[in-house]
Copies of this chain bind each other. A is one copy, B any other.
Amino acid sequence: MNEGSPILFVLVSTCLVLSCVCSEVCNLGPLAEEIASYDTVVKRIIDYAVSGPFKGKTYNELAKFVDKFGARPSGTEVLEKSIDYMIDLTREEGLNDIVTEELEVPRWERGEERITMLEPRVKDISVLGLGRSVSTPPEGITAEVVVFKSFDELENTPDEKVAGKIVLYAPIFTKYGETNKYRTQGATKASAKGAVASLVRSITPFSINTPHTGSQTYGEGVIPIPTAAIAIEDADLISRIHARGEKVVLHIRMFSNLETKVSRNTLIDLKGTQNPEKLVIVSGHIDSWDVGQGAMDDGGGLFISWAAPVILKRLNLIPKRTVRAIFWTAEELGLIGAYAYEKAHRHESDNINFIMESDEGTFAPLGLAVGGSKKARCIVGEVLKLFKSINASTLVEEDAPGSDIGIFTGNGIPGASLHNDNAKYFWFHHTEGDTMNVEDPDELDLGAAFWTAVAYIIADLSEDIPR
C-alpha cells in the first residue's frame, strides 16, 4: 500500500456504520429480499474456502509464490516472472480470459545506504532510503542535524538555521494518513529551506529498530536532496541529544539509480452470463517494495483477488456480470499501473459496476470501507448483512477508499476496500518484516471467502450499483 499519491492527501471523512444501522435508513424494497436470498450461496462459498477443498489454499499458494520470488520491485525481471507465474497458476484453474496490458514503470534501484552518527558518539543509524531519492555525492554528506516535530516548526525557523544542515522530521506517529506527509513531502520542504538532506522518523507506531521505506516526490522547482527514513529509536535518540543542546553530526552515504522499464497489469475475467461488458473488479497489486517480501503488501490482497474467480469457477457460480481480477503493477512508486488502466479504459468506465481492492492487509475480514452514493452504500450494507457468521458485516463510509482504486472511487465510481483487523499492519509496512510470518492461513481463508462472495453477489444482482 502506498498512500503517497496526491489524490490521497485529500482528507477523507471516515464514518463507521454498522450495516444494520445503515439499512434502517435505506429502503431497498424487493432488492433487500433478493440480497437476502444469497445466504445459501454465501454459506456454500464460506464452507468451500474455510473448511472445504479450498481450506489453506490461499495461504499455501501465497507462500509458494512469496518463497519463490521474494520482493518484486517495479521494473524488475523478477516482477515480470512473478506475473507470468500468476498467469500460469490461473490457467491451471481453467480460467483463460487473461489479458496483460503493458505500461512504462519506474525502476528505482537501491544501492549502498549507510548513515553513521559521528557526534556526539559514533553509531550506525538504521536507515532505508525513500523511493526515488537521489544519491549523495560519492564521498557522502557530513552535516549537523536540525530536528523538527512538524512542518510548522520548520517553517518558523529562519532559513540560515536550516541551510547546509540535515533535517530530521521526528513527529510521533498518529495515523498513517496524517504522519506520512513527513515522508512524502519532507525532502521538498527541507530542500526549499536549504537543507542538504532530509530524514524522517519511520512512519509506524511500533518498531524493533525497524526502518520503513516508502514513496516520496520532489516538488517542482526545488533541488532534489537525498532522503531516507530512519528507525524511530534512532530518530528519538537524535531528538533527545538535540533537545539537550548537544550537536549531532551525521555522515550519509546513499546511492540509487532510476530508470524506466516496462511492466504489465494483469486482467483475469470470469465472463458474466448476461452482461459480460459490465464489471465487478477485485484487485490487489503484485509489485512490492524491494525490502521484505511483499507477503502482506500486497501478496495477501493479490491472492484473495486471484481466489475470487478461481473459487467461483470451481463452484460453477457464474454471475450475470463479469468478475474481473486485476493484479496492478507498480503501485508502490505511485499507483502507476492503476493510472495506466484508468487512462486506457476511461472510455468504458461506465461499465465498472463496482471496484474492490485489498491493500491494507488480509487479516481477519471485518467488512468493507465503501465509497459511492447513499444508495450504493445501502445495497452494499445489505450484502454485508450476509457475513454476520464470520463477523464481517461492518460498513465503513469513506470518500475514496483504497489505494490503486482511489483513482476510481475518488471519481465517483462505487467501490470498496477490504476492512480488516489490521491494527498491526503498519508495524510491518514497507519493512524487511513484510514476510509470510505476518499472514495467517485461517484469516486468508476467511478473506478469500468474503471477497469471493461479495464480488459474486454484486455481480449477480438484478440491479446495478447506482452512482
Contact = CB atoms under 8 A, between A and B. Distances in A.
Interface of A: 63-64, 67-70, 120-121, 123, 126, 207-210, 232-233, 236-237, 240-241, 244, 292, 427-428, 431-433, 435-437
A65 to B, nearest CB: 12
A67 B70 CA distance: 36
Given A207-B208, A208-B208, A428-B208, A68 B437 contact: no
A236 B437 contact: yes
Q: Specify which of A67, A207, A208, A233 lies most central, judged by the most chain B CB atoms within 10 Å of its CB.
A: A208
B67 A240 contact: yes
A210 B431 CA distance: 11
16 contacts: A68-B120, A70-B123, A207-B433, A208-B208, A208-B427, A208-B431, A208-B432, A208-B433, A209-B292, A209-B435, A210-B210, A232-B437, A233-B435, A237-B435, A237-B436, A240-B436
A50 B18 CA distance: 43
Contacts of A207: 208, 433, 437
B67 A209 contact: no
Contacts of A432: 126, 208-209
Contacts of A244: 64
Given A208-B208, A428-B208, A433 B67 contact: no
A433 B240 contact: no
Given A70-B121, A208-B431, A233 B437 contact: yes
Q: Which 7 A-B pairs have the closest CB atoms?
A: A208-B433, A209-B432, A233-B435, A209-B433, A208-B210, A233-B437, A208-B208
A182 B70 CA distance: 28
Contacts of A437: 207, 232-233, 236
Contacts of A70: 121, 123
Contacts of A68: 120-121
A210 B240 CA distance: 25
A343 B428 CA distance: 47
Contacts of A427: 208
A399 to B, nearest CB: 32
Contacts of A209: 210, 292, 431-433, 435
Nearest to A437: B233
Contacts of A121: 68-70
Q: Specify which of A70, A126, A244, A437 lies most central, judged by the most chain B CB atoms within 10 Å of its CB.
A: A437
Contacts of A435: 209, 233, 236-237
